[in-house]
Amino acid sequence: MLPREDGEYGVTTEIRSADYLVVFEAIGEPGAQSDPVALSDLGADLGPDMSTATTEPDGSSPAAQRWLWLGVALGAASLSVLAFWVLGGREDPDADHDSGETPPEEPSSDS
């Protein structure tokens, strides 16, 4: 929240016009919440075209669900790339000897 004059705090947020359901919570008692109330029931003037438009109580709009599934797909793709990099990146069986040490020589059968 942003400080305003007279020691008050507040915030201004722009959201799409809809008849949102709101729940108020008491500051003193933890967990004391009101019943969900529509903004139109509280006296908000939403205009003539917004009287029937409501949102779901869980707040999940189709756009939010698309972003959620995009995030899940991006996470799955990242994990598969990581697994390929960790497990499938070795082609040379002697790749462990890249530390500057020479591999042990095999005994010769010249004697």
| The three-state (H, E, C) secondary structure of 38-86, written as one string | ECHHHCCCCCHHHCCCECCCCCCCHHHHHHHHHHHHHHHHHHHHHHHHH
So what's the pLDDT on residue 109? 64
Tell me which range, 9-13, 15-19, 35-39, 76-80, is most confidently predicted by mean pLDDT: 76-80
The greatest distance separating any two alpha carbons of the chain, rounded to the nearest whole angstrom, comes to: 103
Q: Each residue of 49-99: pLDDT tens digit?
A: 554 555 555 556 777 788 888 999 999 999 999 888 888 766 655 555 555
Least confident of 12-21, 40-49, 69-78, 95-104: 95-104
The reply to whether 94 falls in a domain is no
pLDDT of residue 84: 86
Contact (Cβ atoms closer than 8 angstroms) between residue 26 and residue 7:
no
Domain that holds residue 65: 14-83
Residue 36 lies in a domain: yes
Tokens of 10: 């507040």
91 domain residue, yes or no: no
Whether 24 maps to a domain, the answer reads: yes
Which pLDDT score is estimated for 4? 83
Residue at 103 is within a domain: no
Number of domains within the chain = 1
What would the two tokens of residue 31 be? 């967990």
Which among 10, 16, 82 is positioned nearest to 49, based on CA atoms? 16
Q: Is 90 within a domain?
A: no
